[in-house]
Amino acid sequence: MRFEVSKVLDAIEKRLSTDPALARGVVDLAEVVRYADLDGGRPATLLRLGLVVDALSRRLAEENVVVYVVVDRALLSDADLTSNERMVIRRWADDGLVEVLPGAGDRTLEVADLTGLPVISRRPYDDQRERRPWLGEPGRLLCPGYGPGNATIEPAVPGGPQPPSRATVRGQEVLARLWRCPEPGCAAFGPSRAGRPGGQPPPRLRDGVPVCPRHDEKLLAAGPRPAAEVLVARVDGTVRQRFVVSSDQPVVVGRAPDGLDQGPGVLMLGPWLAEEARRWISRSHVVLEILGDDLVARDVSTNGTVVRVGGSRAESDRLMLTRDQVRLLGDDDVIELYPGVQVARAGQWSSGGVANPSSVMADAPTMMIQLPASD
C-alpha cells in the first residue's frame, strides 16, 4: 500500500508549481489536508490535495492542471500526517515546488492578490472582503466540496467560465523583476532555477518591501524578469499541457525532443499522439522562442509546420514553414504540427475540451480515500 501512496504523491508532485504563469489556483495546504468530509477518512491526509487537483482539472476541462501550494510551517510537524507525508512536503519545499512559511493563510491571499489567480478554499473570508474586494468577483474564490462519487470545485460567486488571471498593478511591478534571496541555496529566489521549469514566485511584501517568504530576508533586485508567453499544446481538441516560453528559455516541441523528457525547454507530445501523427511529427519539430518582445516559431522538422494565421481554418490563411523557416506569431496564430496537434497562446481556446481529465489519484488505495457513493 505504501508503494501505491507514493505513486499518487509522485503524480501530485508533477502538478505543483510556484510559477504564477503556470499555476491555475492557490491553495493553503493545511486547509486542504483537513477537508475530512471530502472523503470521510483520516483527520489529515496529503492525498486530499490530489482530490482538489483532480476537481480543478475537471472544472477547467484540462489535462495536467497545476496548482500553487502554500504550506504553513506548522504542518511539517503535524502528527495527524504520516511521517512519510511530512517528509514529502519537506522535499517539495526544498525543491521549490511549494512554499513553506509561518502564516500560510495570509500568504495564500497575498499570492492570489498579486498574481490574479483564484484562491481555492472553503473559508468565506468575510473578514477580508474590505481589504481584498476581488474575493467577491466571479471566479476568484473557488470552493472544494463533494458531489456524487467525486470532489468538486465551484466558484463562491457564480459567473461563467474562469476569467483569465490578471495581476494587480503592484503585482505587475514585483513580477516584472527578478529577485535574489541572500540565503544560499534558496529554492525560490536563488541565483539559478536551472533544471526546473518556470519562473519565480511573487515575493512576499512586508510593509511594501519584497522579502523571501521562506527565509524572511529582504530580496535584492536582480534585473528585469525575462519576457515570457504562456502557451498550450492541444491534441484532438484537448488541452494537454500549458508551458512557458521565455527569452532565456526557448522550448522545443516534438514527438520526443532530444535529451530530457518533459523537462524545461522540451515539450514531448509522443504519449498523446495516434499512430499517423506519431509517424508525421518529427522528434524535434518546431522551436518556440522569444526574440525581443516577439514570439517566434522556427521549423526544425522533416515534414514542415503549418501556421494557421489568426487561428483561421481557411485554406488561404494556411502558411507552411519548412525547415529553418521562421515566423513571428500573431496573438491568435495557431501552430499545427499535424491535423489536430496544435500549439497556441493560452488564451486561444476558451475550454480545455476534455470531459474526464486523467486523475492524479489513479493509483490511490481505495481504503484510504473513500469518496461518497454515486447513487
Minimum separation from the CB atom of position 75 to Zn ion (A) = 19
Q: Which CB atom, from 175 or from 186, has the smaller least distance to Zn ion?
A: 186
Q: Which CB atom, from 52 or from 186, has the smaller least distance to Zn ion?
A: 186
Minimum separation from the CB atom of position 214 to Zn ion (A) = 5
Minimum separation from the CB atom of position 189 to Zn ion (A) = 5
Q: Which CB atom, from 8 or from 219, has the smaller least distance to Zn ion?
A: 219
Element spanning 26, H or E:
strand 26-28
Rounded CA-CA distance 118/164 in Å is 10
> What is the biggest distance separating any 2 CA atoms in the chain, rounded to whole angstroms?
64
Closest CA to 40 of 313, 330, 288, 369: 369
Minimum separation from the CB atom of position 190 to Zn ion (A) = 8
Residues that bind Zn ion (CB under 5 A): 181, 183, 186, 212, 214-215
Q: Which CB atom, from 221 or from 319, has the smaller least distance to Zn ion?
A: 221
Helix ranges restricted to H, the chain: 2-13, 29-33, 47-60, 83-94, 104-115, 169-175, 275-280
Q: In the numeric block, which cell numbers belong to residue 130? A: 474590505
| Torsion sign over Cα 363, 55, 59, 308 | negative
Minimum separation from the CB atom of position 181 to Zn ion (A) = 3
**Which residue do the cell numbers 501550494 mark?**
69
Q: Which CB atom, from 5 or from 186, has the smaller least distance to Zn ion?
A: 186
- Partners of 306 in the β-ladder: 320, 336
Minimum separation from the CB atom of position 117 to Zn ion (A) = 21
Q: Which CB atom, from 5 or from 181, has the smaller least distance to Zn ion?
A: 181
Closest CA to 333 of 318, 321, 322: 318
